[in-house]
Structure 1
Amino acid sequence: MKVRSRRAVPPDVYLSFVSSLFENRNTLFTGMAVHILTFVAIYLKSGDAFYLMLCAGFVIVFANRIYWFTRFQQADKSQMTRHEIRQWERRYVLGAASTAAILGTGSGYAIFVLQDSFAELASIAVTMASMVSVVGRNYGSRLAVDLQTLACCLPMVAGSLLAQDFYKALLSLMLIPFGLTTRAMANGVREFLYENVIASQEMKKIAGRFDTALTNMTHGLVMLDPHNRIEVINRKACELLHLGDRKRLTNCDLDVVLRYGVRHTFVDGSMPSLIQKQLAQLIDGSTSRAVMQFSDDLILEFSASRRPEGGVVLIFEDVTARIRADRKILHMVRYDSLTGLPQRAYFCDLVKEKVAQQATGQVGFMVLDVDEFKHVNDMKGHLTGDRLLVAIANRLLELAAGEAITGHFVGNQFVLFFPGREGELGLDARMRSIHERIAGNYDVEGLHIAVTFSAGCVILDSAELRMEEWQIKADLALYEAKSRSRGRLVFFAEEMDARYVERQRLKTDLRAAVDAGDISVAYQPMFKPDGSALECCEALARWTHPEKGAIPPNVFIQVAEEMGIVSEITRQVIKKACRDCMTWPEHISISVNLSVQDLRNELIIDTVTSVLAETGLAPGRLHLEVTESSLIEELSTVRLILEQLRGYGITVAIDDFGTGFSSLSYLDTLPVDVVKIDRSFVRNICEDVRRLKLLRGIVTLSRGLNLQIVVEGVETREQLALLIKYNCADLIQGYVYSMPVSSSDIEELSQLAERKEFEARTYVA
């Protein structure tokens, strides 16, 4: 074994070895007393005063050693340098070697001079006893061991050799291997202790680092033994679980700690069974990860790993913020941000869960559509519209509590699911009751808004429920309700499905016809009231289906608007009408209707200008008609578009005037040239004086604004006569002069009017 030098030993270890030399002052007192008493006894037996001198030497050395022992105990060892430590070692070695030298001298003197058996036995016994204690007491200093061994043995060897006694000399030589053995034993003890001290220091460093790592972990950690007792727990775990001082928790049962063992802990004896079950599953290895909610403000995520020697390590972290964020995101996905009601996807999930609980029986769905909601947005503002939706949602929740699951689909549509149940009212009666009670007045920001709802309902067997099917059927019923009148509730019937399929086929055929350019145009002439001139023709789109024949415009135009292809029909009609107009006399103009979709963007301007450029028609011969319904949507956008069209020299007319909202205000705010008064004002003017007065009032107002007046729907000579009598029209459009005709008939009708050969007639439906 390699014996390390003092320079190779770290200062702190060197200090610990030197400190071991100055320990146990009591043994110093005991040894010194034995030494003095022994030498006193030899003096009394032999009468040799030399031993009294040796006793005096013992006292002097003892006093010196006691002094330095005391000084060492009082010294500040934390700041000692290696040199200072070496000085203290030398002081100790000097005292120890002096004591050993006195003992050795006394033994050698007894052997050589006195040659007294008692003196030899007593002195050698005390000296050899001191030699034995050298290993146990002085292992910390190689120099102390070496000097004490030499100081004890050399005088005895010298005395034995000088006595010229063969046997004593032989025996004394045995002290040499004894001394070497003592030296080797001391070195071995010192090396062994050095290795252990170094290992202990390393373990302390590792333990310190481990403790620092545990203390500063952002995760909580609990290490359990095979008996579920806590072996290691870090500060974060105690903070998260409110467990107090972690030093008190070692060897405590985890379940007991969480339930009863810690003051101020939030998990009391009524620890939720779910948390207890989850912890048990983690500990026994059934699961490796679990999320546990200890309170509203604390959610922890645990992970567990098994230890090879048994037990488990639990690592956990506070995931409250993450779980709250996930729940918030999930809530945003599931619920409408405006009304707080479940959105379509989550509503369907709730329905599936409810149906799964209801093994058999019927269930019902009702889709509610707020009538004229767009008008509320346009007239009152979108903020008012949003608040109205919130008010409706709150009333629905109140009415449907215990009755149905309520959801918000999109925009102004709400949906309710009615599970089957025993009771006096059936599903249809429950639906009708809610539909009846949900309608009424709503107070929104001081406004009283009367609201009605169109409703589509469907009742199905829960065993045959298909999520995609009920939505289609409810939508079909809602479409049927809205097509009849506002505020209606309609239940799905199988024939609605057939009509839906038929409508889808009609859409497919219409798209093909538009793509192929198969939309034709008919023209209804507009004459001067006396029939003396044909001045303008209204272009009317016509579609002849290859199987069904002529499809009414009010049908296929509505379908085209649903499909979003009405603008393409408008483009084709304008193009054909302008081409046909180029074949007519130059004084005849052409009038084309624009749809709501045409006026939503400025593409219509490009369409019109490109057609005029392509056909060569003068802009003044083109009239564009807009209905009041198209003005309601985006009045500012429509105004800008019409102003640009009018700037090109195109004439702008309001069609069906008097059938919409705030009709008179449009005459002043829009760039309009022509007012076409709707047929509803003409129908009863011969019998209803009030109706005639209203017509004349509109005419007077329009003329005051320098607008040209076209009266539509004139069908009898009597209506025509009244209009001429009171000068109510600049142009007459109606069956009293002509039904819609083809382009080739226009020139002939114009020539008849010029020759005054055109006569009015009474139209018979």
Structure 2
Amino acid sequence: MRALSAKAVPADVYLSFVTSLFGNRRTLFTGMLVHILTYLTVYHKTGDPVFIVLAIAFVVVFANRIFLFARFSRAEKSTWTLEDIRHWEIRYVVGGAATAAILGIGCGYSILQFEDTFVELACIAVTMASMVSIVGRNYGSRLAVNLQSLACCLPIIVGAFFSNDPYKVLLSILLIPFVLTTQAMATGVREFLYENVIASREMKKLVGSFDTALNNMTHGLIMLDPQNRIEVINRKACELLHLGDRARLKNCDLDVVLRYGVRHTFVDGSMPSLIQRQLAQLMDGTVSRAIMQFSEDLVLEFSASRRPEGGVVLIFEDVTARIRAERRILHMARFDSLTGLPQRGYFAELVLDQIAARKKSGVVGFMVLDIDEFKHVNDMKGHVTGDRLLAAVANRLLKLAAGSVIVGHLVGDQFALFFPNVGGGADLEQKMRDVHAAIAGSYEVDGTIFAITFCAGAVLIESSELRMEEWQIKADLAVFESKSHGKGNFTAFAQEMDARYIERQRLKTDLKAAVTAGALQVVYQPMFVPDGSKIVCCEALSRWTHPEKGAIPPNIFIQIAEEMGIVTDITRFMIRKACRDCASWPEEIGVSVNLSVLDLRNDDIVKTVLEALADCGLDPKRLHLEVTESSLIEELTAVCVILEELRTHGISIAIDDFGTGFSSLSYLDSLPVDYVKIDRSFVRNIGEDARRLKLLRGIVNLSRQLDLGIIVEGVETREQLALISKYGCADLIQGYVFSMAIASDAVPELAEQAQKRPISAHPVHVA
């Protein structure tokens, strides 16, 4: 074993050793009392005053040691240095060595002076007893053990040597290994305790670090024994569960603790039992994780790990913010942020839940409401006003539903209503008609009053036959039917609508095949100067002859093409065909092609036009492109950039159907156009209605002041032509008064006829 010096031992350990020397004063008192009584007894036996002197010496030393012990107890030890501790150790050693020396001297004196067995035995007995106690009392000081051992044994050895008794000498020599053994035992105890003190200190440090870490965790932790009593609980757990001081919770039953804690937390009497069931599932291993809602402001997520020796470790955290965020996200996924109504997917879930809750089958109803001309509200007042109008409609629908009807927002300006018809009712369709009638009317938004009507499509179906993927198709068909009859109509789905829908789908398939195969035809309606003597341009018009159904009107198949998104393919075909045909006409005749809104969504149209011109070698000045006002208004900035680029190549731009839009005059000055093409609605009845003629002349005068060419379409009678010519309302005339649409190869012949003589105001029919 290594010897421990004061300098090698840490101050706190050294202090603990020295403190052990000053402990157990009762044994010190008992030992001194035994020593004094023994020496007084020996004095009584021998009458030798030396033993009285030794007894008095014991009393003096004992008094000094008691005084020293008292001072040590009162001393402030927290500021002591190693030297201070060493100083107190030496004081103790002096007192202990003095006591041992008195004992040793008494033994040596009794061996030398007396041959009395009692005297020798009494003195040696108390001395050896003290020697035995040296290890137990003085292990903390190597110096104390060494000095006291020598002080006890050395006088005995000296006395034995001078007694001239060889046996006593032999016995006294045997004290040497006894002394060495005592010292070794004390050293072993000291080193053992030193290692344990160091280990204990490290353990305390580790426990302190663990306790610090435990109590600074962001998670709550509770460690339970096999009887569900709390062994460990950290500060965060007490904070989250409102449990107060954690020190008093040790060995308490968790169920009892929670019952105490929940009175400050729960707001509903049913919650504690729910929490207890969830905790029971965690602790018996049924589940390993659970989310528990203690109140609106406290949601905790628990996880459980079973301990090998039995019991469970519960770790939990406050997930209130996360749960609230998840609920907000779920609400956003389920409900439309604008109207607050269920969106399509959640609306379907609510309907299915309602159907599943029915005790017996019955007729239920769906209704889809579509706001008439809602796009015009956005165009005139902006999307913010349009959004507020949708919110106002949603609020009125909720009031009309009165909790019995499920209301949802499908998309854009479409709303869906489900009528569960739980109470039966003789006329479910009439209820739906009543809601449709009540929802229409005046809506005031941002100081503007809107008169709103709705086209409605309804579906009545047996609840047992309900298929969510089918009902909206049928309702949409009914809405489409309503729109075909005008604004504000209500139509209940009929089976023939399904047949028409199927027919329309087939028509879409056939149209796509026709466009892909280039099976469309192109005819041209000429534009004449007002006196009919010259053809300046021809408008290219697409035609589709179905192999089974015959000629399909352009307003039908163009609408279908827009729905399918293939109208740009038709435009590409028309431009190439028109440029090729125009190249075969006289050079003074140009060609005009219509562009749709979809064509102007990107600048691919520029590439298409330039490639078509290059392929057939047509002068760009002979090509005219017509755009509608709606396409200009929708994407004004982007469209203007595209049109301006086309104009830089010499292509002329005309506004088609001018005057039918909502912002014609306000945009006219800023648009990159060369012609305005006045819609036929301004020409109709100009002979009978003077106001209409004035309106036509006003539009023409405004356009001429902006240096724009005037094309009037839809001129069908000589009277209309005469009035237009009289007031100079047109640069070009398009209409049946001169010619209907003709084939490409008929254009040169018609142009030649026009040059030979003015064409009469009667329609010219050319094969």
TM bucket normalised to smaller: 0.7 to 0.9
Alignment of structure 1 residues 57-76 onto 2, 5 Å: 57-76=57-76
Partner of 2:244: 244
Contact 1:259 1:271 in 2 (8 A): no
The answer to which of 338-347 and 649-658 deviates more is: 649-658
1:469-489 CA-to-partner distances (Å, cap 9, x unmatched) read: 223222222222223322222
Contact 1:258–1:267 (CA under 8 A) maintained in structure 2: no
1:104 aligns with 2:101: no
Contact 1:524–1:538 under 8 Å retained in 2: yes
Q: Could you tell me how far apart the structure 2 residues matched to 1:98 and 1:695 are?
A: 137
Q: Match of 2:349, SS?
A: helix
Q: Secondary structure at the match of 1:61?
A: helix
* Rounded Cα–Cα distance in structure 2 between residues aligned with 1:718 and 1:633: 37
Q: Distance in 2 between matches of 1:537 and 1:529?
A: 15
Q: Which runs of 5+ in 2 are unaligned?
A: none
2:439 maps to which residue? 438
Does 223-232 or 96-105 show the bigger shift?
Answer: 96-105
Instruction: Give the counterpart letter for 2:549 in structure 1.
Output: K
Q: Residue in 2 aligned with 1:208?
A: 208
Q: Which residue does the alignment assign to 2:259?
A: 259
Sort the Cα spacing of 1:184 and 1:704 in 2 relative to 1 into closer, same or farther, 3 A: closer
Residue 226 of structure 1 deviates from its aligned partner by: 1.6
Partner of 2:486: 485
1:539 aligns with 2:540: yes
Aligned residues: 763
Deviation at 1:234, TM superposition (A): 0.8
Q: Is the 8 A contact 1:244 1:262 kept in 2?
A: no
Q: 1:619 Cα shift? A: 4.7
Q: Which residue of 2 aligns with 1:344?
A: 344
Displacement of 1:81 in angstroms is: 4.4
Aligned equivalent of 1:52: 52
d(CA) in 1 for partners of 2:264 and 2:686?
A: 91
1:115, distance to aligned residue in structure 2 (A): 3.2
**Is 106-115 or 430-439 further displaced after alignment?**
106-115
- When the two chains are superposed, the root-mean-square deviation of aligned CA atoms in Å is 3.8
Question: Does the Cα contact within 8 Å between 2:265 and 2:294 map onto a contact in 1?
Answer: no
Contact 1:658 1:677 in 2 (8 A): yes
Q: CA deviation at 1:84?
A: 4.6
- Post-superposition Cα deviations, 1:667-711, rounded to whole Å, max 9, x if no partner, equal 766566655554455555666677667667766777777766655
Distance in 1 of aligned mates of 2:110 and 2:642: 138
Aligned residue in 2 for 1:583: 584
**Which range is displaced more, 474-483 or 746-755?**
746-755
Whether the 8 Å contact between 2:621 and 2:650 is mirrored in structure 1 is yes
C-alpha displacement of 1:134:
3.2
Matched residue, 2:5: 6
C-alpha separation between the residues in 2 aligned to 1:699 and 1:660? Answer: 16
TM-score, normalised relative to structure 2: 0.87
Q: Which residue of 2 aligns with 1:371?
A: 372
Alignment check: 8 A CA contact 1:454 1:488 kept: yes
User: In 2, are the aligned partners of 1:260 and 1:268 still within 8 Å (CA)?
Assistant: no
Aligned pairs for 1:394-543 (under 5 A) are: 394-424=395-425, 426-527=427-528, 532-543=533-544
User: 1:302–1:315: 8 Å Cα contact kept in structure 2?
Assistant: yes
Render the CA deviation track for 1:202-258: whole Å, top value 9, x for unaligned.
332232222122122221111111222111111111122222211111112222122
| Segment drifting more, 278-287 vs 641-650 | 641-650
Whether contact under 8 Å (1:260, 1:269) holds in the other structure is no
- For residues 691 and 637 of structure 2, the distance between their equivalents in structure 1, rounded to whole angstroms, comes to 34
Residues in 1 aligned to 2:68 and 2:199: alpha-carbon distance in whole angstroms? 31
* Residues 310/268 of structure 1: CA separation in 2 closer, same or farther (3 Å cut): farther
TM superposition shift of 1:75: 4.0
Alignment partner, residue 141 of structure 1: 141
* AA matched with 1:499: R
Q: Report the Cα distance in structure 1 between the residues aligned to 2:586 and 2:14, rounded to whole angstroms.
A: 126
Task: Identify the residue that residue 740 of structure 1 maps to in structure 2.
Answer: 741
Question: Which ranges in structure 1 are unaligned for 5 or more consecutive residues?
Answer: none
SS of residue paired to 1:303: strand
State percent identity of aligned pairs: 70
Partner of 1:280: helix, strand, or coil?
helix
> Which shifted more, 256-265 or 43-52?
256-265
Range that drifts further, 730-739 or 507-516: 730-739
* Paired position in structure 2 for 1:564: 565
After superposition, residues 658-673 of structure 1 pair within 5 angstroms as: 659-661=660-662
One-letter identity of the residue aligned with 2:593: V
How far apart in 2 are the matches of 1:183 and 1:673? 122
Contact 2:739/2:764 (8 A) holds in 1: no
Contact 2:739 2:763 in 1 (8 A): no
**Superimposed CA distance per residue, residues 77-124 of structure 1 (whole angstroms, 9 cap, x where no aligned partner):** 334444554444343333323323322333343343243455445434
Q: 1:637-682: CA deviations, max 9, x gaps?
A: 5566556655655555454455554666677665666555544555
Quote the Cα distance in structure 1 between the aligned partners of 2:139 and 2:452: 104
Q: Tell which deviates more after alignment, 437-446 or 457-466.
A: 457-466
Distance 1:457 1:43 in 2: 129
Partner of 2:228: 228
* Equivalent residue, structure 1, for 2:115: 115
Structure 1 counterpart of 2:595, one-letter code: L
Q: Which amino acid aligns with 1:569?
A: I
TM-score calculated relative to the size of structure 1: 0.87
Task: Report deviation, 1:186.
Answer: 4.5
Output the amino acid matched with 1:6: S
Structure 1 residues 49 and 697: CA distance shift in structure 2, 3 A? closer
Deviations 1:278-310 (A, max 9, x none): 122112222111111222222211111111222
Gap change, CA 1:52 and 1:443, over 3 Å in 2: same
8 Å CA contact 2:683–2:715 kept in 1: the answer is yes
**For residues 431-454 of structure 1, what are the alpha-carbon distances to aligned partners after superposition, in whole Å with 9 as ceiling and x for unaligned?**
322222222111111111122222
Change (3 A) 1:264 1:335: closer
SS of residue paired to 2:23: coil
Aligned CA distance change for structure 1 residues 546 and 157 (closer, same or farther; 3 Å): same
Task: Give the alignment of 1:615-626 within 5 angstroms.
Answer: 615-626=616-627
Partner SS for 1:340: coil
- Return the alpha-carbon distance in structure 1 between the equivalents of residues 528 and 101 of structure 2: 153
Does the Cα contact within 8 Å between 1:244 and 1:263 map onto a contact in 2?
no
C-alpha deviation, 1:575, in angstroms = 3.2
Mapped to 1, the partners of 2:696 and 2:167 lie a distance apart of 162
2:750 aligned partner = 749
Distance 1:579 1:432 in 2: 55
Cα 1:153–1:648 shift into 2, 3 Å: closer
User: Which residue identity is paired with 1:326?
Assistant: E
Partner SS, residue 545 of structure 2: strand
1:745 is displaced (CA, Å) by 2.5
Paired residue type of 1:396: L
Instruction: Measure, in 2, the Cα distance between the counterparts of 1:482 and 1:731.
Output: 36
1:315 aligns with 2:315: yes
Cα distance in 2 between the residues matched to 1:688 and 1:449:
30
SS in 2 for 1:390: helix
SS state of the match for residue 272, structure 1?
helix
Change (3 A) 1:39 1:752: closer
> 1:501 offset after TM fit, Å?
2.6
Other structure's SS at 1:456 match: strand
Q: Which moved more, 1:697-706 or 1:340-349?
A: 697-706
**TM superposition shift of 1:573:** 2.5
**C-alpha separation in 1, matches of 2:482 and 2:331:** 33
1:274 alignment partner in structure 2: 274
Cα distance change on mapping 1:671 and 1:248 into 2, 3 Å = closer
Do the aligned residues in 2 keep the contact of 1:342 with 1:408 (CA within 8 Å)?
Answer: yes
The reply on whether 1:306 has 2:306 as its aligned counterpart is yes
- Report the more deviating stretch, 319-328 or 238-247: 319-328
**Letter in structure 2 aligned against 1:439:** A
